[in-house]
Amino acid sequence: MHADTENTDRTGEAVAHDDRAGRVNGPDADRAARRDEAVRAAVEQGLLGPDVPLVGLLDVTGVRESAAELRAAFEAVAAPGTSVLHAFAVKAAPLVPVLRLLHAEGVGAEVASPGELALARTAGVPPERTVLDSPAKTPGELREALALGIAVNADNPQELDRLDALVQEAPGTASPLGIRVNPQVGGGTIEALSTATATSKFGVALRDEGAREWVVRAYLDRPWLTRLHTHTGSQGIALSLMARGVAEAYELAEEINRRAGRQQVDTLDIGGGLPVNFASDATSPTYEQYARLLKDTVPGLFDGRYGLVTEFGRSLLAKHGTLLTRVEYAKRAGGRPVAVTHAGVQVATRTVYAPGAWPLRIAAYDAKGRPKEGPDVVQDVAGPACFAGDLLARGQALPLLEQGDHAAALDTGAYYFAHHYAYNSLPRPGVYGFVPDGAGGVSFAVVRRAQTIEEIVTESGGDHPDALTPGLAP
The pLDDT value given to residue 117: 98
How would residue 4 be classed by pLDDT, with cut points 50, 70 and 90? very low
pLDDT at 393 over 60: yes
- Higher per-residue confidence, 363 vs 1: 363
- Which is nearest to 406 in space by CA: 347, 451, 338, 339? 339
Lowest mean pLDDT among 5-9, 138-142, 435-439, 448-452: 5-9
Residue 344 burial (10 A CB sphere; 0-12, 13-18, 19+): buried
How would residue 449 be classed by pLDDT, with cut points 50, 70 and 90? very high
User: What mean pLDDT, rounded, does the chain reach?
Assistant: 92
Residue type at position 271: G
How would residue 255 be classed by pLDDT, with cut points 50, 70 and 90? very high
How would residue 92 be classed by pLDDT, with cut points 50, 70 and 90? very high
How would residue 220 be classed by pLDDT, with cut points 50, 70 and 90? very high
Q: How far apart are CA 266 and CA 254, in angstroms?
A: 10
Give the pLDDT mean for 373-389.
97
Residue type at position 73: A
Q: Give tens-digit pLDDT for 257-278.
A: 999 999 999 999 999 989 999 9
Lowest mean pLDDT among 27-36, 233-242, 383-392: 233-242
pLDDT at 5 over 80: no
Torsion from C-alpha of 399, 400, 403, 407, nearest 10 degrees? 40
What sign does the dihedral 461-466-469-472 (CA atoms) show? negative
The pLDDT value given to residue 474: 72
The pLDDT value given to residue 6: 35
Give the pLDDT mean for 382-386.
98
- Which is nearest to 319 in space by CA: 62, 101, 97, 98? 62
pTM as predicted: 0.93
**Phi then psi dihedrals of residue 87, to 5 deg:** -110, 115
The pLDDT value given to residue 295: 97
Q: Give tens-digit pLDDT for 153-196.
A: 999 999 999 999 999 998 889 999 999 998 877 777 777 767 77
pLDDT at 446 over 50: yes
pLDDT at 24 over 90: no
Q: Give tens-digit pLDDT for 279-295.
A: 999 999 999 999 999 99
The pLDDT value given to residue 232: 87
State percent of the chain over pLDDT 90.
Answer: 84
Whole-angstrom CA distances from 186 to 73, 211, 235, 242, 274 are 26, 17, 14, 10, 16
- Higher per-residue confidence, 444 vs 20: 444
Whole-angstrom CA distances from 356 to 152, 338, 394, 405 are 35, 19, 10, 26
pLDDT at 120 over 60: yes
Q: What angle do CA 15, 351, 276 make, to 5 degrees?
A: 25
Cis bond upstream, residue 429 (ω within 30)? no
- Which is nearest to 343 in space by CA: 108, 19, 40, 53? 53
- Higher per-residue confidence, 365 vs 11: 365
pLDDT at 73 over 50: yes
The pLDDT value given to residue 23: 58
pLDDT at 14 over 50: no
Give the pLDDT mean for 226-233.
93
pLDDT at 11 over 80: no
The pLDDT value given to residue 421: 96
The pLDDT value given to residue 16: 39
Do 417 and 59 form a contact (C-beta atoms < 8 A)? Answer: no
Lowest mean pLDDT among 187-191, 420-424, 432-436: 187-191
